């Protein structure tokens, strides 16, 4: 037998996983052990949850009594810094298993009785809005104990960013973190990718096509929530590739009132047949906007770019075209002018390259911004794979970022230049009685007034030629 068929020994093996319970226990133990062993990784996961920067201790299946019940939360995390301690219970689900309200509320009661700070849930569920929990919980249970949720995708993303981009000081700890990444990326680990648009997806899709979908339909709200989760998953996936924190572009109002935002998106879906989301990428020229048009069967990605504030309209158009030299010629460009409502002139890049004036309706009006958009076919299947809606959205986002956004830079005005003697206009002769004898920045280099000549002669004539 050749060595190519031999399996390398792994610190966290995926072999021998028998059933969901074993899968859950192994994933919990592996994650918590690496959190305590790799200081940087443990810190990056706990800092956003309110834990201090200190030593991390982790435990699994710690027993607690709640009334007459004996309960075993999957894990416990304790962070110590000086005299301060921060403690959180951990509940983990793998695969397609969902978190249960009754179980979480019981663990919240335990945390309150024990004086713990938080309950952390980990599963493949992705909340529509960051900071929101995917499971409905009695808000009264959260008066003294905080509730946080970490999708497995987010944990994997943070692990990759920490190891590959931020770095781990100790080489052995970096190897340990790499072993966790290998484990979580394996299909048998239970840390799944986003792979389902939900049971109501086909009904919603067909309702949009037939024009029969109503905002009151329960499936519409589920489809909106799944699309929000898909956008957040796309952020985590793109951030893993870029090595930075990519997040949904949400306003303060959206974050403070997710229910109102969800209702607005449901109304939009029922009236226009579109689902929309935006992605904020650090350093990008602007947010990446995604529109899924279920009626037209298209995914449209676009970015808005501010036009230069100087130069003629054709100069501003050419500035954008130069940055799109490697972009597909089928992308659409739209130009907006100052103080105008509605859309502006629009055309495909292939035509704009040949004739930039197609984007200029009135040369006297100043161009304000450009919109660069790309349309691709949308999949229809609710799952993942070829012909699936999820994969078509993810592919559209990746292509638009790679071919367009990462090549765009915002316009920057040229810095002011110091004046040279050649730049200073000569001063016209004036009456001697009106000329000041003090040298000024408004004087010409030759000091050609009578008083200036007398003054220069008085100091030895150094300024005379």
pLDDT at 452: 46
pLDDT at 460: 42
pLDDT at 14: 76
| Contact yes or no for 178/160 (Cβ under 8 A) | no
Structure tokens given for 413: 């005005």
Rounded CA gap, 391 and 57, in Å?
39
Rounded CA gap, 195 and 237, in Å?
13
pLDDT at 418 over 90: no
Structure tokens given for 415: 């810095």
* Mean pLDDT in residue range 395-399: 96
pLDDT at 19 over 90: no
pLDDT at 453 over 60: no
pLDDT at 298 over 90: yes
- Dump pLDDT digits (tens) for 94-131: 998 999 999 999 999 999 999 999 999 999 999 877 77
Question: What is the DSSP secondary structure assignment for residue 421, as one 8-state letter?
Answer: G
Structure tokens given for 339: 């103080």
pLDDT at 33: 95
Share of the chain above pLDDT 70, in %: 89
- Dump pLDDT digits (tens) for 63-103: 999 988 899 999 999 999 999 999 999 999 999 899 999 99
- Dump pLDDT digits (tens) for 26-49: 999 999 999 999 999 999 999 989
- Dump pLDDT digits (tens) for 239-250: 999 999 899 998
Reported confidence tier of residue 228, pLDDT bands at 50, 70, 90: very high
* Mean pLDDT in residue range 400-418: 91
Q: Strand 118-123 vs strand 146-151: parallel, antiparallel, or unpaired? A: parallel
* Mean pLDDT in residue range 391-398: 95
Tokens 């501010």 map to which residue?
306
pLDDT at 370: 94
Task: Report the chain's mean pLDDT, rounded to a whole number.
Answer: 87
Highest mean pLDDT among 289-298, 409-418, 447-456: 289-298
Reported confidence tier of residue 438, pLDDT bands at 50, 70, 90: low
For the chain, domain boundaries: 7-189, 220-407, 423-458
CA dihedral 376, 381, 387, 392 (to 10 degrees): 40
pLDDT at 3: 65
CA angle 276, 280, 285 (to 5 degrees): 110
Query: How far, in Å, are 36, 39, 102, 225, 383 from residue 46 at the CA level?
Result: 11, 11, 25, 26, 33
Rounded CA gap, 111 and 416, in Å?
61
């Amino acid at each position: 037998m050749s060595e190519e068929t031999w399996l390398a020994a792994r610190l966290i093996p995926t072999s021998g996983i028998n059933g969901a319970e074993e899968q859950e226990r192994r994933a919990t133990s592996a994650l918590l052990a690496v959190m305590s062993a790799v200081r940087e990784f443990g810190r990056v996961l706990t800092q956003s949850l309110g834990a201090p920067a200190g030593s991390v201790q982790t435990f699994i299946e710690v027993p607690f009594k709640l009334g007459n019940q004996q309960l075993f939360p999957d894990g416990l995390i304790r962070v110590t810094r000086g005299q301060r301690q921060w403690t959180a219970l951990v509940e983990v689900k793998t695969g397609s298993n969902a978190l249960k309200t009754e179980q979480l509320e019981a663990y919240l009661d335990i945390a309150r009785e024990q004086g713990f700070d938080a309950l952390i849930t980990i599963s493949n569920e992705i909340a529509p809005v960051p900071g929101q929990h995917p499971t409905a919980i009695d808000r009264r249970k959260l008066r003294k104990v905080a509730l946080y949720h970490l999708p497995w995708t987010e944990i994997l993303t943070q692990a990759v960013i920490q190891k590959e981009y931020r770095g781990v000081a100790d080489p052995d700890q970096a190897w340990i973190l790499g072993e966790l990444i290998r484990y979580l990326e394996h299909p048998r680990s239970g840390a799944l990718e986003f792979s389902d648009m939900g049971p109501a997806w086909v009904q919603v899709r067909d309702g949009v096509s037939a024009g029969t979908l109503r905002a009151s339909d329960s499936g519409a709200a589920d489809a909106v929530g799944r699309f929000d989760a898909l956008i957040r998953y796309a952020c985590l996936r793109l951030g893993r590739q870029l090595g930075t924190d990519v997040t949904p572009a949400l306003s303060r109002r959206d974050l403070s009132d997710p229910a109102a935002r969800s209702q607005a998106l449901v109304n939009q879906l029922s009236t226009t047949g579109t689902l929309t989301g935006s992605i904020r990428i650090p350093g990008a020229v602007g947010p990446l906007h995604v529109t899924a048009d279920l009626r037209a069967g298209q995914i449209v990605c676009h970015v808005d770019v501010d036009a230069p504030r100087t130069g003629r309209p054709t100069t501003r158009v050419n500035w954008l075209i130069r940055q799109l030299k490697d972009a597909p010629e089928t992308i659409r460009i739209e130009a907006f002018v100052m103080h105008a409502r509605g859309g502006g002139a629009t055309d495909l890049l292939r035509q704009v390259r040949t004739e930039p004036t197609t984007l200029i309706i009135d040369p006297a009006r100043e161009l304000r911004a450009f919109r660069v958009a790309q349309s691709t076919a949308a999949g229809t299947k609710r799952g993942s794979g070829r012909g699936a809606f999820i994969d078509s959205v993810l592919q559209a986002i990746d292509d638009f970022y790679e071919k367009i956004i990462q090549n765009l830079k915002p316009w920057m005005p040229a810095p002011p230049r110091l004046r040279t003697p050649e730049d200073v206009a000569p001063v016209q002769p004036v009456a001697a009685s009106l000329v000041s004898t003090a040298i000024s920045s408004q004087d010409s280099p030759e000091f050609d007034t009578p008083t200036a000549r007398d003054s220069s002669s008085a100091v030895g004539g150094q300024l005379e030629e």
